[in-house]
Amino acid sequence: MTSSFQYGANVHANGIRQHYLRYGGKGTPLVLVPGITSPAITWGFVAEELARTHDVYVLDIRGRGLSQGGDDLAYDLDAYAGDVRGFIDALGLKDCVVLGHSMGARIAIRLGRQDASGIAALVLVDPPVSGPGRRPYPSSLPWYVDSIRLARKGMDAEAMRRFCPTWTREQLELRAEWLHTCEELATRITYEGFHTEDIHQDIPHLTVPTYLMIATRGNVILPEDEAEIAGLLPSIVMDRVPDAGHMIPWDNLAGFMTSFNGFKLS
């Protein structure tokens, strides 16, 4: 397949430098918001597929990749949602789809409640449903912190395999190359936020079409969570992707795309 990559660029939005990668260039705009330690470039192989039907913008979230970071920035849901809102406004995107994975899905939920103007739909990919008084997120903080510290020193694909044993060598190489750009402080604060920030209070206020993609092997969203979410937002459309852990496209890209295309967003 011929690459659909267009360019990488920076934009000043919500008071910070935000870096993004663009794929495709035609079709309905789609803003892809990655997870807690996923620089934009690591989603390139997914963006290539999404770009068959959409004009894809993959964000480097603050404190990750080539976007602005630092100890002086906030790393809570309101700040993250403000960044995505600012990005959409700065680029003048209209009727766009916002697709968020994990942390990115939580950001999309908060954004959808705060200001959904210009957003045609939300696609929530396996968002952590932890929060105050709820069961903890199944991945531990040391899994993130230990790998970031090793990446800062320099690590190869085989060293990364300890953390991501099911990934391909190409996926491991890319993560090993870019993980050092994920700031430990941003990761720690975000992980804590998984347990202190409540997305369930936002879900009933979502007014745009909302789709939930669930990993069958992720242990992030359980059947009882599906039932609760359906009760909070009866209009939500849900789909489970078989043979996939939390990083759904890494385990089953074809299944991810079948699920995404089944939402009929283009």
Q: Which CATH class is domain 5-135+196-262?
A: alpha beta
What pLDDT digit, counting tens, does each position of 26-59 carry? 999 999 999 999 999 999 999 999 999 999 999 9
Residue of 266 and 6 predicted with greater confidence: 6
Token couple for 185: 């402080």
pLDDT at 91 over 80: yes
The structure tokens listed for 115 are 């200001």
Model pTM greater than 0.85? yes
Q: Return the pLDDT at 2.
A: 82
* pLDDT score of 241 more than 90: yes
Among all chains, which residue has been given the structure tokens 């909070």?
232
What letter would DSSP give residue 41?
G
Q: Which phi-psi region, left, alpha or beta, contains residue 52 (left: φ > 0; alpha: ψ -120 to 50)?
A: alpha
| CA pair distance 100, 105, nearest whole angstrom | 4
Q: Cα separation of 18 and 83, whole Å? A: 8
Contact 191, 137 (CB under 8 A): yes
- Chain-wide mean pLDDT for the chain? 97
**Per-residue pLDDT reduced to its tens digit, 120-173:** 999 999 999 999 999 999 999 999 999 999 999 999 999 999 999 999 999 999
- Overall average pLDDT of the 218-225 stretch: 96
Spell out the domain ranges in the chain.
5-135+196-262
Q: Return the residue matching tokens 């964000």.
A: 59
pLDDT at 266 over 80: no
How does pLDDT run across 164-202, given as a tens digit for each residue? 999 999 999 999 999 999 999 999 999 999 999 999 999
Cα separation of 252 and 46, whole Å?
11
Give the DSSP letter string of 83-116.
HHHHHHHHHT--SEEEEEETHHHHHHHHHHHH--
Q: How far apart are CA 52 and CA 247, in angstroms?
A: 21
- Using a pLDDT cut of 90, give the percent of the chain over it: 98
